[in-house]
Structure 1
Amino acid sequence: MAKRAGSADLPLHNGRVPAWLGQRMTRLGAVIAEAICHHYGRDEFLRRLAHPFWFQSFGAVMGMDWHSSGITTSVVGALKRGLAPLSGELGLHVCGGRGRHSRQTPAELVAVGTRVGFDGAALATASRLVAKVDSAAVQDGFDLYLHSFFVTDDGKWVVVQQGMNGDSRLARRYHWQSEGLTSFVEAPHAAIDGKNRGEIVNLTDRRAAASRKAQLDLLMELGPDGIVGEAVGLARRSEPVPPPPEAPFLPHLVMPEHHDVRPKDVMMRRLHGALAAAAERGPSDFAELLLVPGVGARTVRSLAMVAEIVHGTPCRFADPARFSLAHGGKDRHPFPVPTLVLDQTIGVLKSAVAAAKLGQEEKLDAIQRLDSQSRQLERTADGPSFDAFVAEERRRSHDYGGRSVFGWELSPEAEAEKAWRQ
């Protein structure tokens, strides 16, 4: 039986990730992947990639727009760049990408297979089949423009691909996972990320097995002209058609159209748990961890959210917007990216992973305890309102190296002088 994990719809946004953010996303994405592989193994990292809610939260914690279609492109690109130097160590490879890069996926798989020893030609065929299913067998109005293939040295894989519907200004992300996959044409998806747009043609649904067989039988028996005649006859029928049996429930992520992060998008008790854990555990638990110059309470708060990305279970990612409160967003939603904090987060996590590779687990264990403490404290912790939290972040943005696609954030004094001159 094939494993299908869920689906998601995302507002379709144009624009590019600025280099200053793309480079940081590359570093943070790679070190988070390393931490997950170290703690739980690379198979678990593949499972995370196949989960639409985790994938969205992963992009949000890296400073990308929390709800837009661009998260898919930017996360795939960041991981492809960041994991390439680590592919020999982790046994994990990223092929494909957006546009012309997606068409190079089969050739990249063959090259990787030749280098590490798996059947690259077979996986290239799988890549083509996956793309064909979501572009032809599932006719939902979304045209594929991104196809990425994550594969391990032992041939396990996840595909994340995305289509767009220009009329509705929506994107839909599809997740596939080789674990448990026995058929490319019957319920093969690990996840489909998209907004419900009504009835669609989905010939991969297990309930469509009879339809797939009937289509082949008709083609063999009647030929094209005969099929046209049958279609005309069916169009004249007026008998009601009984509904199909219920399909099994799968996670379905629907991101809102509004760009700003709103209180209803965030589970505040979990945010308060992270803030409380950072305040209580930071001073006592991070004496050795916080050796990066300038690291303080603000960085520990970000680390608490990064720790949840590394250690959290699927139910923890129902509100991807919450993870944008770690490092903001490039379009200033919910606040400009605090580049100094982001750099410190990357530095602390890289230091912890590097020490763990040498058998010194203390630093990574401290980050894991931070996550555990967050979960315990969220039951009772209190804290600022969402609006007050965001307002304070915006007020301190200049101190944190705040930056967005609109430029660097000015100090309050410079803002006042700018307003006066205008």
Structure 2
Amino acid sequence: MRVGVAELPLHAGTVPRWLIDRMTGLARAVVELVVDEYGPRGLLERISDPVYFQALNNLIGMDWDSSGSTTVTTAVLKAVVNSMDIGVRVAGGKGKKSLETPAELEKHARELGLDPAPYVRTSYLVAKVDSAGIQAGYQLYHHAFFVAEDGTWAVVQQGMKPEAKVARRMHWFSERVVDPVNEPHSGISGVREPFALNTVAGEASSFRKLAVDLAQEGASRIEGYIRQAMAIASGYKPLAFYKPYENIDAKAVLERYSRLGMPRPERKGLDTARETGVKSYSELLSIRGIGPSTVRALALVAELVYETPPSWRDPLTHPVDPFKFAYAVGGKDEVPFPVDKKTYDELLSILGKLLERKIYSKWILRQLAMLTKDWSPPPEDKKPT
């Protein structure tokens, strides 16, 4: 593990009740201050920033470098935001709670005066992009959807790499998304992998067009193409062989795919794609039954048979390190120091008084922020937990 970078490893154990209660109080104060200053949209913009999110996690006293920094912080935010009248609601969460996202979005959207259907569709597509559209060995297990009364939305979701027991967090913000299958993220935090099957990279646009065309040909034809791709990887040169093929290390290509899981076209999903006549890659990913193995199958065929590869660039953007915020109250695992209840309660008391006098709070907090703006924590305090 690299010291100084939050790698989000899996931690055992739970957060004690006394700390959860204080986390909730501090998160409530932060949310109220942010909404008061920047509005509901400003809150979502910050939640969709990987560094801000990690800093908030550190501020409230969660482990500075654990996978729980996503699940616990999101759960606290969900409880706080949904209990406040600020024009924002949160759906979903970890494990089984992520499956409740559509039903919760139906309820929350109506409460905010919005049509729930687009948000339910978006939630599903966002999850599909980060589980099938991008593949780096992480299995999605956390999905939280934030929606504001003006229609703005944000998503914080996380995947776990089982063999390494390390997580990766993906952030989305509606104002950042021009095309949900073309460089859509506001940020991705975690550990950079040597490669990732990235079908939503900007440079993979030709692949996305070809994948839609291939899906129209049906499962049997795709299976035939897979056999042809395997033959090419074994040294076979098709009759249409020409010079560009000489630059392809087919065995190395197949090895990359096999490390993610062997490509296998899922018949039900491909049959649905053919019957419905999908016209875009986002439509293709949105079909139930088009999962990671089918995307790998389409990518392998595109790369070895049609010489139209996806991208293998890992889209990770933030090996996040807002460690200084862990000095506010300490950390659950005693890094940089144990959480002190007295200090935590004093902080909550001070913020409570500031919130009662909103006319002064903004100026005071800005002055306080200047005191630590240029301060960096001692490197030796950055101990992996």
TM-score range, shorter chain: 0.7 to 0.9
1:114 equivalent to 2:121? Answer no
CA RMSD of aligned residues (A): 2.8
Q: State the Cα deviation string for residues 233-279 of structure 1 (Å, max 9, x = none).
A: 5423662249999989974215xxxxxxxxxxxxxxxxxxxxxxxxx
Equivalent positions of 1:278-297 (< 5 A) are none
CA–CA distance in 1 between the matches of 2:336 and 2:182? 41
Amino acid of the residue matched to residue 246 of structure 2?
A: E
Q: Return the match for 2:13 from 15, 24, 34.
A: 15
Which residue number in structure 2 is paired with residue 199 of structure 1?
195
Q: State the Cα deviation string for residues 153-184 of structure 1 (Å, max 9, x = none).
A: 11111100001011112100000110031322
Q: State the Cα deviation string for residues 65-95 of structure 1 (Å, max 9, x = none).
A: 1111111011101111112221x2x101111
Secondary structure class of the residue paired with 2:212 = helix
Q: Return the match for 2:333 from 317, 331, 334.
A: 331
Q: For this pair of structures, how many residues does the alignment match?
A: 308
Q: Return the match for 1:212 from 186, 200, 208.
A: 208
- How far 1:190 sits from its partner (Å)? 1.4
Amino acid of the residue matched to residue 116 of structure 2?
A: G
Secondary structure class of the residue paired with 2:178 = coil
CA–CA distance in 2 between the matches of 1:138 and 1:65? 27
Which residue number in structure 2 is paired with residue 261 of structure 1?
none
Which residue number in structure 1 is paired with residue 22 of structure 2?
24
Q: State the Cα deviation string for residues 108-130 of structure 1 (Å, max 9, x = none).
A: 11111122211112101110111
Which residue number in structure 1 is paired with residue 351 of structure 2?
349
TM-score, normalised with respect to structure 1: 0.67
Instruction: Give unpaired runs (5+ residues) of structure 1.
Output: 1-6, 255-318, 391-422
Cα 1:363–1:252, aligned 2, differ >3 Å: closer, same or farther?
A: closer
Q: State the Cα deviation string for residues 318-371 of structure 1 (Å, max 9, x = none).
A: x42211111111122221101111111112112212321xxxx12442122121
Tell me if structure 2 keeps the 8 A contact 1:11–1:170: yes
Q: State the Cα deviation string for residues 8-56 of structure 1 (Å, max 9, x = none).
A: 8421222211111111111111110111111122222212111111111
1:240 equivalent to 2:306? Answer no
Amino acid of the residue matched to residue 240 of structure 1?
A: N
Cα 1:212–1:246, aligned 2, differ >3 Å: closer, same or farther?
A: closer
Amino acid of the residue matched to residue 333 of structure 2?
A: D
TM-score, normalised with respect to structure 2: 0.73
Secondary structure class of the residue paired with 1:11 = coil
- How far 1:100 sits from its partner (Å)? 0.9
CA–CA distance in 1 between the matches of 2:368 and 2:124? 43
Q: State the Cα deviation string for residues 349-400 of structure 1 (Å, max 9, x = none).
A: 12212321xxxx124421221213444xx48xxx99677x99xxxxxxxxxx
Instruction: Give unpaired runs (5+ residues) of structure 2.
Output: 238-244, 249-306
Identity fraction in percent: 38
Runs (4+) off by over 3 Å = 241-251, 383-387
